[in-house]
Structure 1
Amino acid sequence: MFDKEEIMAWENEIASKKAFIKKKRYRDPRIEKLIEVRKGIKTVHYRKEIKSCRKDHYRHYRSKTSQLVRSEKFDMIVSYKRTSGWLTW
């Protein structure tokens, strides 16, 4: 029916077609983040908040809370979340 040469040519043709098919490569965010950290890209690293800004934020929270206490709106008081100076917004 078919010669060995025809079969080999057909198999080689199919093998070459399979070699050119791109396989979908899924993105791994952990590897990308690791690469960014190793390269030292600044968008990855967070810096601490300035002490004066921290104090201003806490002073604003205290004044807001005392204002709510004076107006007896206790249900609107939220607990203060300490961020230890790390930017959280």
Structure 2
Amino acid sequence: MFDQEEIRAWEKEIATKKAFTQKERFKNPRMEKLKEVRKGIKAVHYDKEVKSARKDHYRQYRNKMNQFVRLEKFDIIFNYKRTSGWLTW
């Protein structure tokens, strides 16, 4: 049916094809995270902050700025960044 030479040539051809093929494709976590962010999948986004925590943070900001005004350190005063409750740290 087949010669020994033909069988060896066929086996060699298969072996070279297997050697050049990538055996396992590993996942790239950076690319997957980027896809999730672009699709807007909920698991990627942060939840909103609790209302009481927002109020406490804003109260601390007001106290700090009032203290700067009393000490006349006007160059240190900065605007409050409203995040509408989204966690930003």
TM-score (norm 2): 0.63
For residues 12-43 of structure 1, give each alpha carbon's deviation from its aligned partner in whole angstroms, at most 9, with x where no partner exists: 42433432543665612234x37xx4xx75xx
- More off after superposition, 56-65 vs 69-78: 69-78
Judged with a 3 Å threshold, the aligned counterparts in structure 2 of structure 1 residues 12 and 62 are, in CA distance, closer, same or farther, namely: same
Distance in 2 separating the partners of 1:14 and 1:45: 50
- More off after superposition, 79-88 vs 12-21: 12-21
* 4+ residue runs over 3 A deviation: 23-26
Q: Which amino acid aligns with 1:88?
A: T
Q: 1:74 deviation in Å?
A: 1.3
Aligned residue in 1 for 2:17: 18
Alpha carbon RMSD of aligned pairs, Å? 2.9
For residues 40-81 of structure 1, give each alpha carbon's deviation from its aligned partner in whole angstroms, at most 9, with x where no partner exists: 75xx34211111111111111011011111111112112211
Identity within the alignment, %: 47
Q: 1:85 deviation in Å?
A: 0.4
Aligned residue in 1 for 2:56: 56
Aligned residue in 2 for 1:87: 87
Distance in 2 separating the partners of 1:71 and 1:25: 59
TM-score (norm 1): 0.63
- Partner of 2:79, secondary structure, is coil
Distance in 2 separating the partners of 1:79 and 1:9: 78
Q: Which amino acid aligns with 1:73?
A: K
Unaligned runs of 5+ in 1: none
